[in-house]
Every structure is written in structure tokens, then in C-alpha cells.
């Protein structure tokens, strides 16, 4: 693995590899930036085809967290961690405690939270060994499961995209596909279902699909048919890279706006293709910022009403990006990157002047 060159490509500050022989913990923590504050980002536990794939995943996720926090106006940098293993069969209290020790050894440069394959209970176990953890249960001073806030922010982003693209103030009459029926996807559907929509759902878990069919009158879509569906809005809410070389020519949506991270497999290439196809893309790290806004507020005096008010700003943040994209005639994801970098560079310049 050519780690240093990969770090240099996107200016990552630090990458740490951890292994504990006793618990067989294999983990990577990537810190992209601490310019605006300590790096914060969730821990993802999953099996990877190779360690190279795990490194690629954690590096781009960490960078996304930097940009996400910058645009959301948070005093945080960007980081991310991955534990390589099966979250159902390899996860033990001892492994999570050892991971907590590794986080603690970084002296607060990285703060963890939950992500795919991890949950609030896991954060409680990690906290036994470090205070650099958020997304905790309410009885431990946290706010509990952040998926409600993430889904609400995604819903705000969808409303923003619909206003810009279709000039509508509601979702009535629209067809919407939600791919991925985890905690965020299901809560997002609850918000979407307040409108008179034609709902399509897709997930590898047949029971979750059945629940949506019975609870919301949704139409199930097989995974192989997702990218050929004729619908207004595609909401990816599971794994990333679903917009790739194999799927992008098949897409016929007006809008892509979902809670998944790293939706574009090739960030610049696929963002530009969507722009040329006149498909409005809501940059993932802007639309799904509700979760990081929520856990950031755990670091101070947590007030749920204030958190939801902050999350509602996602609507305007995206609208500004859409307008600027149209004005400059460049893809929305490039506009959002430029905006995030401007915020970070202005902070650097302010420190120099001081």
C-alpha cells in the first residue's frame, strides 16, 4: 500500500494502523484535518475485500467529514475510522475496549461515533477506555441514536432539491425511490410519507422491504432494477459508490439526494456526468450532515430544539450550492468542495493575521 502518496493526494494529516493480537482487532484511523477543531467521524465495522479497500474507504470518508463540518459551520475537523471484521461475528467487548485505548492514545485529535456496523451500545463500551467518543445513550450524557436527526436533515435536503429543480414547495405527486432501509432510511420514509408520493423501496433485507410495503404502501424494487427505474428522486441511504460506471448511463432521475456517504464512485468524473445529464445531485456530505451536527452538540449543552433548527439550515446550504452550480456551470459536488475549502482557508488566514 502506497499510504503516504494516498495521504498526500488529499492532504491528510495522519493515518494510524492498529492491531491487537489478543482480540484480533485490525483498525485504521484517518485524520484528514484538524484546522477547524478536533477531527470527528464515525467508526465503521465491516469486512473489506482487501486492506487497500479499507484504507481507500477511510481516507475519503475522513476528507468528507472535514468538508461536512466546514459547510455545517461546526468547529470540527474531519476524521474517520474502520474496524476490519464482521460486525455480527467478530465484535466483542474486549475488541471495542482495545479500540477505545487506541483512540485515547491520539490525545483527542480524533473523536469517534457510530457508523455502519456500530451502534450506541458499542460507543458505551468504547467510552470505558476513552472520553473521545460521542453518540452515546441519554443516560451517559449523550442524545441517543442520531439517525432521526440525519434523516430529518436528508428530508430538508430533498425539499431543497425539489424546490430548485422542480419549483415545488412539497413532494406531492412525486415518485421517490429509497435504497437502504436501515435506521436512517426508515425514518426518512416516515418524513416523506407525510406527502402524497409514489414510494419505491429497495433493500437486501426482504423483511424490511415487507414492512415498508405494509406500513407505507411502498412498491418493492429488486436491486438489479434500481438504476433503471423511472422516478423523480433517487435516495441512496446505504453503502456508497452506487453511482458508478456500470449504473450512471442507466439513471433517469431528476434528483439524487440521499443519506449515504460517497455516493459517487469516481467523485469528479461521475459528478460531471450527472451535471451534463441534467440530474441534480445533492452532495452527500452536505445533505447528510444532520448526524454530525447532532453529535457535535453533545460536546456542549445539548438542546434538541436547537439541534433541529441547525439541521434545517441544510436546506439553505444546498440551495446556495445549487444556485452557484447553475451560475458557474459546474457540478454541484465541485461547488461544495470549493465552498468548504474557502471556509477552511479563511480560518487559516485569520489565524495568520492574529
Predicted confidence (pLDDT) at residue 353 exceeds the cutoff of 70: no
Residue 141: its pLDDT value, please? Answer: 76
Give 31 or 354, the one with higher predicted confidence. Answer: 31
- Sheet of strand 110-114: strand arrangement: 14-20, 25-33, 77-84, 39-46, 110-114
From 26, 63, 68, 80, the catalytic residue: 80
Average pLDDT over residues 119-132: 95
Give 170 or 136, the one with higher predicted confidence. Answer: 170
Q: Are 270 and 264 in contact (CB under 8 A)?
A: yes
Q: Any idea what DSSP says for residue 264?
A: B
| Mean pLDDT across the chain | 94
Predicted confidence (pLDDT) at residue 150 exceeds the cutoff of 90: yes
Predicted confidence (pLDDT) at residue 288 exceeds the cutoff of 60: yes
Q: Are 186 and 215 in contact (CB under 8 A)?
A: no
The Cα–Cα gap between 81 and 156 comes to 27
- Fold equal for 3-65+76-140 and 147-341: yes
C-alpha cell at 339: 465552498
Name the pLDDT band for 116 (thresholds 50, 70, 90): confident
Query: For the domain bounded by 147-341, which CATH number is listed?
Result: 3.40.50.720
Extents of the domains making up the chain: 3-65+76-140, 147-341
Residue-by-residue DSSP string for 29-51? EEEEE-SSSSEEEEEEEE--S-H
Identify whether 246 is a catalytic site residue.
no
Residue 16: its pLDDT value, please? Answer: 97
Residue 35: its pLDDT value, please? Answer: 96
| pLDDT single digits (tens) 233-270 | 999 998 888 999 999 999 999 999 999 988 999 999 99
Please name which of 112, 109, 9, 130 lies closest in space to residue 59, comparing C-alpha atoms: 9
Average pLDDT over residues 135-140: 82
Q: Torsion-angle region of residue 168: left (phi > 0), alpha (psi -120 to 50) or beta?
A: beta
Q: Are 314 and 287 in contact (CB under 8 A)?
A: yes
Q: Which of 3.40.50.300, 3.20.20.70, 3.40.50.10860, 3.40.50.2020 would CATH assign to domain 3-65+76-140?
A: 3.40.50.10860
C-alpha cell at 104: 485515547
Q: Which residues pair with 226 in a beta bridge?
A: none
Give 142 or 122, the one with higher predicted confidence. Answer: 122
Name the pLDDT band for 138 (thresholds 50, 70, 90): confident
Average pLDDT over residues 318-325: 98
Q: Is 147 exposed, middle or buried (0-12, 13-18, 19+ CB in 10 A)?
A: buried
Predicted confidence (pLDDT) at residue 354 exceeds the cutoff of 60: no
CB atoms within 10 A of CB 349: 10
| pLDDT single digits (tens) 67-111 | 999 999 999 999 999 999 999 999 999 999 999 999 999 999 999
Residue 224: its pLDDT value, please? Answer: 93
C-alpha cell at 296: 457535535
Percent with pLDDT over 90 in the chain: 84
What's the Cα-to-Cα distance from 5 to each of 10, 15, 31, 56, 270, rounded to whole Å? Answer: 9, 12, 15, 12, 23
Q: The whole model's pTM is what?
A: 0.90
Amino acid at each position: 500500500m502506497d499510504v503516504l502518496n494516498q495521504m498526500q493526494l488529499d492532504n491528510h494529516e495522519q493515518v494510524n494502523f492498529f492491531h491487537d493480537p489478543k482480540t484480533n482487532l485490525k483498525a485504521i484511523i484517518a485524520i484528514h484535518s484538524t484546522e477547524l477543531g478536533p477531527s470527528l467521524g464515525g467508526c465503521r465495522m465491516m469486512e473489506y475485500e482487501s486492506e487497500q479497500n479499507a484504507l481507500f474507504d477511510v481516507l475519503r470518508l475522513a476528507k468528507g467529514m472535514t468538508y461536512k463540518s466546514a459547510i455545517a459551520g461546526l468547529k470540527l475537523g474531519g476524521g474517520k475510522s474502520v474496524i476490519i471484521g464482521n460486525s455480527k461475528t467478530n465484535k466483542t467487548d474486549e475488541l471495542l475496549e482495545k479500540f477505545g485505548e487506541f483512540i485515547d492514545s491520539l490525545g483527542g485529535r480524533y473523536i469517534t461515533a457510530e457508523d455502519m456496523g456500530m451502534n450506541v451500545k458499542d460507543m458505551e463500551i468504547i467510552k470505558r477506555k476513552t472520553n473521545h467518543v460521542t453518540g452515546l445513550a441519554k443516560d451517559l450524557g449523550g442524545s441517543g441514536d442520531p439517525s432521526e436527526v440525519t434523516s430529518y436533515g436528508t428530508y430538508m435536503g430533498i425539499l431543497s432539491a425539489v424546490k430548485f429543480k422542480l419549483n415545488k414547495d412539497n413532494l406531492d405527486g412525486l415518485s421517490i425511490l429509497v435504497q437502504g432501509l436501515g435506521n436512517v432510511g426508515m425514518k426518512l420514509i416516515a418524513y416523506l410519507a407525510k406527502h402524497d408520493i409514489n414510494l419505491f423501496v429497495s433493500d437486501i433485507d426482504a423483511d424490511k422491504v415487507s414492512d415498508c410495503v405494509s406500513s407505507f404502501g411502498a412498491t418493492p424494487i429488486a436491486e438489479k432494477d434500481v438504476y433503471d427505474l423511472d422516478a423523480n428522486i433517487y435516495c441512496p441511504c446505504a453503502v456508497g459508490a452506487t453511482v458508478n460506471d456500470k449504473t450512471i448511463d442507466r439513471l433517469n432521475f431528476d434528483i439524487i439526494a440521499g443519506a449515504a456517504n460517497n455516493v459517487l464512485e469516481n467523485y469528479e468524473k461521475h459528478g460531471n456526468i450527472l451535471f451534463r445529464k441534467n440530474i441534480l445531485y445533492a452532495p452527500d456530505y452536505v445533505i447528510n450532515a444532520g448526524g454530525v451536527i447532532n453529535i457535535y452538540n453533545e460536546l456542549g449543552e445539548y438542546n434538541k430544539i436547537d439541534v433541529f433548527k441547525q439541521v434545517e439550515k441544510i436546506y439553505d446550504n444546498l440551495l446556495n450550492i445549487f444556485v452557484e452550480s447553475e451560475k458557474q456551470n459546474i457540478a454541484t459536488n465541485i461547488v461544495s468542495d470549493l465552498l468548504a475549502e474557502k471556509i477552511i482557508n479563511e480560518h487559516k488566514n485569520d489565524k495568520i493575521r492574529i
